[in-house]
């Protein structure tokens, strides 16, 4: 049974996602990245997996560290504002500093953990909380 018969909305969402994937593959190819078709799947896995891990607080420090380096590479590769002039300079600088602020948030999670209401805290106790350790 075709997806359009089951749910037209879901079929439309699948079309949008495939279009977005094509756009991302084209952007990666513009930067002359080898094997861009495989790299995009790794990026999707890291973004979804790392984002879910952060949201749920499961292995949050590890996820935040991985996302920190991923966002650092994205900022330098895709938003080198120092190479632009005019209006593009401001747009790329804003995107670069947006990535820089996300990196700061990731370092916060690496340093202090996911907090007392996370899966990490349920599994390993309150080790990952921001509260100071008892003496």
Q: Which residue has the tokens 């340093």?
A: 111
Q: Which of 110, 38, 28, 33 is nearest to 69 (CA)?
A: 110
Q: List, for residues 82-95, the tens digit of each pLDDT value.
A: 888 889 889 889 99
Torsion 62-63-66-69 (CA) sign: negative
Q: Domain extents for the chain?
A: 57-128
Q: List, for residues 80-133, the tens digit of each pLDDT value.
A: 888 888 898 898 899 999 999 999 999 999 999 888 888 888 888 765 445 555
The model carries a pTM of 0.70
Reported in sequence order, the residue ranges of the chain that DSSP labels E, i.e. its strands, are: none
């Amino acid at each position: 049974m075709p997806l359009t018969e089951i749910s037209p909305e879901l079929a439309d969402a699948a079309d949008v996602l495939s279009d977005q994937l094509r756009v991302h593959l084209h952007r990666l190819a513009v930067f002359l990245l080898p094997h861009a078709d495989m790299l995009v799947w790794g990026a999707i896995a890291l973004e979804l997996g790392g984002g879910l891990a952060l949201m749920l607080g499961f292995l949050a420090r590890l996820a935040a560290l991985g996302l920190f380096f991923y966002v650092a590479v994205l900022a330098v590769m895709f938003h080198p504002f120092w190479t632009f002039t005019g209006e593009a300079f401001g747009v790329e600088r804003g995107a670069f500093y947006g990535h820089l602020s996300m990196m700061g948030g990731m370092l916060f999670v690496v340093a202090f953990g996911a907090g007392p209401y996370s899966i990490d805290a349920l599994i390993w106790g309150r080790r990952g909380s921001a509260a100071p350790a008892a003496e």
